[in-house]
Chains A and B, each alone.
Chain A
């Protein structure tokens, strides 16, 4: 970067070196942005594409006129191809390089894009499409009372702005959200929290059979780690942990009047006010406590903890309105529709039962 000439403008003769550096940097950023936008401008692409296709030189002449009006090219300069134009720009980039205090790397980029266009000449738009694009540019320039070069650079700048917005919305912002727990907790605490269930499961495999399922279950139902990272939580299949609506454990089988034995337990008529759903207002379903509402299904296998991938898509489709019924709902119990543990799953609503709040 060139040293700043003190008192160049005369207005601020005692401008500090820091202030000059800031102004220079800002000017360079604007200038680089304009040049980068020129690289994406349709007028430039039209001229390059038409040159590659050996098509009309109207676009090239228009670009020459616009560059001449902008003071970049000398009056009366005419070129036979885009390469000659780039060569002339390279010779006259003393101005550009003086403005931005950098080597004219943008010309190398433009030459590279011409080479890429030539390499993919077969996939370029047809002359009719190029002409339609050029007409659109001319109409816009007339409507906006701007030069064609300004409109073309504006389109290129809009492309860059759009690319920046898309990057910000779909890449930067999600990363910021995903890494927020890491920033808030610190890497150590985050690593300990996330690796806790994994470590417990790994340790559970080394314990003798019989204690493994209990430790693994406590790891899976801890409510952190796998839940937050998208894996399904584990649920113990022990009956005492199951929520019940009218279904009692075998210990109570036959101990109460009106109790009826079923294959899976003893059904008892629910208390008044707990008919069907068995839930009072404000009841919090234990299956949903601390779980996300969009949680997928978790299969239970006899007494152990087993987590399976979501196989919903592999299950046979049922007819619309047909539900998977719990055994006592299928008619094995004395009261169809009372609901059992299976019917208490999130989303499962036996006939007449209230949906879990």
Chain B
């Protein structure tokens, strides 16, 4: 049986060990989310609604933001 302070220190170690991954996820969400919003404003509507854009860029951005960064 581990005591309370030991559990807290173990949780802290786990948290510190996962910080790089968390940072990468946050970076992914920020970068690709910004790219998505910029594309929403910059690209013409017929490009954004084209099948090619949806199956390539839009889905890639969605995965990068929601799965990797979420």
A binding-site residues for B, Cβ under 8 Å? 170-171, 174-175, 178-179, 182, 194-195, 197-199, 201-203, 205-206, 208-209, 216, 229-232, 305-309
CB contacts (< 8 Å) of B10 on chain A: these are none
The answer on a CB contact under 8 Å between B41 and A182 is: yes
The contact sample of 19 A-B pairs, CB cut-off 8 A, is A170-B44, A174-B45, A175-B44, A175-B45, A178-B41, A198-B29, A198-B34, A201-B65, A202-B25, A202-B30, A205-B69, A229-B37, A231-B36, A305-B70, A306-B66, A307-B66, A307-B70, A308-B67, A309-B66
Query: How many residues belonging to B are interface residues under a CB distance threshold of 8 Å?
Result: 28
Question: What is the CA–CA distance of A316 and B66 in the complex, to the nearest angstrom?
Answer: 24
Residues from chain B with Cβ under 8 Å of A199 in the complex: 30
A309 touching B45, Cβ below 8 Å: no
B26 touching A205, Cβ below 8 Å: yes
**How near does chain A come to B11, taking the closest CB pair, in angstroms?**
7
Q: Cβ of B69 and Cβ of A202 under 8 Å apart? A: yes
A179 interface neighbour in B27, B41, B70, Cβ under 8 Å: B41
**A171-B44, A178-B41, A306-B70 known; A208 vs B29 contact (CB < 8 Å):** no
In the complex, how many angstroms separate the beta carbon of B64 from the nearest chain A beta carbon? Answer: 11
Closest B residue to A171 by CB, please name it.
B44
Complex CA–CA separation, A206 to B62 (angstroms): 20
Name the residue of chain A whose CB is nearest to the CB of B32: A198
**Interface contact A202-B62, CB-CB below 8 Å:** no
CB distance from B51 to the nearest CB of A (A): 11
B40 contacts A229, CB within 8 Å? Answer: yes
Question: Which residue on A lies nearest to B39, using beta carbons?
Answer: A229
Residue of A182, A206, A309 near B63 (CB, 8 A) is A309
Asked whether any CB of chain A lies closer than 8 Å to the CB of B52, the reply is no
Query: Given A205-B22, A306-B70, A174 and B37 touching (CB < 8 A)?
Result: no
A10 to B40 Cα, complex, angstroms? 57
Q: CA separation between A182 and B41, bound complex, in Å?
A: 9
Complex CA gap A179/B34 in Å reads 16
* Residue of B23, B29, B46 with most partner-chain A CB within 10 A: B29
Asked if B62 contacts A208 (CB within 8 A), the reply is no
Instruction: Name the B residues within 8 Å of A309 (CB-CB).
Output: 59, 62-63, 66
How far apart are the CA atoms of A178 and B26 in the complex, in Å? Answer: 28
**A216 CB contacts on chain B under 8 angstroms:** 70
Are A170 and B62 in contact, CB atoms less than 8 angstroms apart? no
The 4 A-B pairs at the shortest CB distance, nearest first, are namely A174-B45, A198-B33, A202-B26, A307-B66
Q: Across the two chains, which residue of chain B brings its CB closest to A201? A: B29
Cβ contact of B40, chosen from A178, A195, A203, A306, cutoff 8 A:
A178
Q: When the two chains form their complex, are residues B33 and A205 in contact, meaning their CB atoms are under 8 A apart?
A: no
Chain B neighbourhood of A230, CB < 8 A: 40, 58
Instruction: Name the CB-closest residue of B to A179.
Output: B41
Extra 4 A-B pairs, beta carbons < 8 Å, given A174-B45, A229-B37, A229-B40 = A198-B29, A201-B26, A209-B15, A306-B70
Give which listed residue, A182, A195, A206, A209, contacts B26 with CB less than 8 A.
Answer: A206
A308 touches B26 (CB 8 A): no
